[in-house]
A and B are shown apart, each in its own frame.
Chain A
Amino acid sequence: ETGVTQTPRHLVMGMTNKKSLKCEQHLGHNAMYWYKQSAKKPLELMFVYNFKEQTENNSVPSRFSPECPNSSHLFLHLHTLQPEDSALYLCASSQDGTSGGNEQFFGPGTRLTVL
């Protein structure tokens, strides 16, 4: 257990569906992250929230919409996805997002399949 939970663990959706991924951390951290991991590709940072403020958005398509209502919860809202969006979506948290040596704690991920 890393102190970061993600739900659901698996999700299959059609291209016209709307779904949301949820992440919760019980570590008292102030920074939270969404990553995408596609097969045989490096982890891609999608969004960073530091003290509930979005500080990074790495050119992610608008069909992915993050929400961070408080420092413990992070959502990723999905709408009209494409099959190439099928991947493992990992959430992580750290004490804050601005220091070197800042260990990130990961959740187990949501395996997303878009049909």
Chain B
Amino acid sequence: GQNIDQPTEMTATEGAIVQINCTYQTSGFNGLVWYQHHAGAAPTFLSYNGLDVLEEKGRFSSFLSRSKGYSYLLLKELQMKDSASYLCAAMDSNYQLIWGTGTKLIIKP
């Protein structure tokens, strides 16, 4: 079957670094995406990884290991506004996104 696993909730301190992990099992694989979702707002795209490289965009980075079926999202210099749910989704052989349940990230002062 197809499955995406990510932690339900994480807590971190403002100014610190946090890593959100995601493991996947899909029928075929065409890349992995990360989205940020603030309650009441539209989920917004953060990154796409198709190869085993580290993608960096400002304070956010994403890494993929296809051999391990594993990805992580790294958030640096955490700000209070980073409190949100972070959704991991893998693209299967039909380019359909298979979604995880999301990781609720709580940032404390």
Contacts and interface: CB of A to CB of B under 8 A. Distances in A.
Interface of A: 2, 4, 40-45, 48, 56, 90, 97-109
A45 B48 contact: no
Given A4-B42, A42-B100, A43-B87, 7 more contacts: A2-B44, A41-B101, A42-B4, A42-B101, A42-B102, A100-B50, A103-B33
5 contacts: A2-B42, A90-B43, A97-B95, A103-B48, A108-B42
Chain A interface, >50% SS class: loop
A40 B43 CA distance: 16
B53 interface: no
A100 B31 contact: yes
Contacts of B35: 106
A44 B97 CA distance: 9
Contacts of B91: 100
- What are the 6 A-B residue pairs with the smallest beta carbon separation, nearest first? A43-B99, A100-B30, A42-B99, A106-B42, A106-B43, A108-B42
A15 to B, nearest CB: 26
Nearest to A109: B42
B40 interface: yes
B89 interface: yes
B90 to A, nearest CB: 11
Contact of A104 (B4, B45, B98, B101): B45
A101 B50 contact: yes
Contacts of A100: 30-31, 50, 91, 95
